[in-house]
Amino acid sequence: MKRDLAEAAPGAAARRAVVLLSGGLDSATVAAWALREGWAVTALSIDYGQRHRHELAAATAVACHLGIGDHVVLRVDLAAFGGSALVDGTIPVPHGRTDEAIAVGIPSTYVPARNTVFLSLALALAEARGAGAIAIGVNAIDYSGYPDCRPEFVEAFRRVAALGTRAGVEGQSIAILAPLVTLSKADIVRLARELRLDTGLTTSCYDPAPDGGACGDCDACRLRAAGFAAAGMVDPRASGS
C-alpha cells in the first residue's frame, strides 16, 4: 500500500535529498528515514549490469510504497569493466561463508569503486535538482568488508562534494548523509519497523534465482537473516532475500 510519506513533511519542497535506492533493505530504510526527517526525496537507482537486477524492480516498488514520485533509474555499464562477481558471470558469488570469513578481507562481490561512482552520479543529480543532501545506506558494522562503506570514505566524499561542485564553491555544500553507517543489521531492521517500511518489498540477495527468489546462502542473505533474527523479527520475504 502506498504510504505518501513524500507529501507528509512540512516544508519538504525546500529541503530535497537524493537517495541512492538500490531496492535493498538498507537503502530503502534510508529513503524512509529521509522522508521522516522532512526531506523531499529524489530516488536514484543504478542499473549497472548487476547479476541481481531484480533489485531494480524492488527499488521501484519501494519508491511507490513510500510515495516518491521523482525516481530516476540510470543505466551505467560497470559490467564492461568486470572485476566483480556481481557484474562478471565467470566469477562465482561466495556461498556458505561463516560469520568469521565474512568479517575478514574484501570479497569477490566488491564492485571496483562502485560507491564512488554512485555518489558522483548522485552528486550530479543533486546539483541539477537543487538538492541540499545525498543519502546513502552504507554500513560499516554488519557488512561484507567493502572499503567504500566506511565512515572515512563518506567523510572524504563530503570534501569532494564541497570542493568539486558549483554549489560547494558558492557556499551551499551538498551534505552526504549516511545514517546507517554505525548501526548493526539488527538495528537497521528495528529502524525499518519504526519507520513502518514494508521490508517485504526489498531484496538483498547477490545470487538470486531467475524469478528473483533469494539463494539464502550468499553473504548478503546471511547478513540479512542474522539481522532479522537478532532483532527478534521474521523477515517477510521468508526466504531471506
The least confident of 6-20, 89-103, 134-148 is: 6-20
pLDDT range class, residue 142, cuts 50, 70, 90: confident
68 found inside a domain: yes
The helix (H) or strand (E) run that includes residue 17 is strand 16-20
Task: For residue 6, tell me if it sits in a domain.
Answer: no
Residue 81 Cα distances to 22, 85, 201, angstroms: 20, 12, 30
In a domain, residue 152? The reply is yes
Grid-cell match 554549489, residue found:
167
Average pLDDT in the chain: 91
Domain presence at residue 239: no
Q: What is d(CA 136, CA 180) in angstroms, rounded to the nearest whole number?
A: 8
* Domain presence at residue 240: no
Maximum separation of any 2 CA atoms in the chain, in Å: 50
| Higher per-residue pLDDT: 104 or 27 | 27
pTM assigned to the model: 0.91
Q: How many domains does the chain have?
A: 1
User: Domain residues for 137?
Assistant: 15-230
56 in helix, strand or coil? helix
What gap in Å lies between CA 101 and CA 15, rounded to an integer? Answer: 42
Residue 2 lies in a domain: no
Report residue 131 as a C-alpha cell: 538538492
Residue 179 counted as domain residue? yes
Instruction: Examine residue 238 and state whether it is found in any structural domain, yes or no.
Output: no
Classified as helix, coil or strand, 118 is helix
What CATH number is associated with residue 92? 3.40.50.620
Beta-strand relationship, 133-135 and 70-75: unpaired
Q: How confident is the model at residue 220 (pLDDT cuts 50, 70, 90)?
A: very high
For helices 185-194 and 219-230, the axis angle rounded to 10 degrees is 60
Confidence at residue 158, expressed as pLDDT on a 0 to 100 scale: 96
pLDDT for the residue numbered 3: 56
Per-residue pLDDT at 135 exceeds 50: yes
Classify residue 15 as left (phi > 0), alpha (psi -120 to 50) or beta: beta
pLDDT tens, position by position, 50-90:
999 999 999 999 999 999 999 999 999 999 999 999 999 99
- pLDDT, tens digit (0-9, with 9 covering 90-100), for 185-198: 999 999 999 999 99
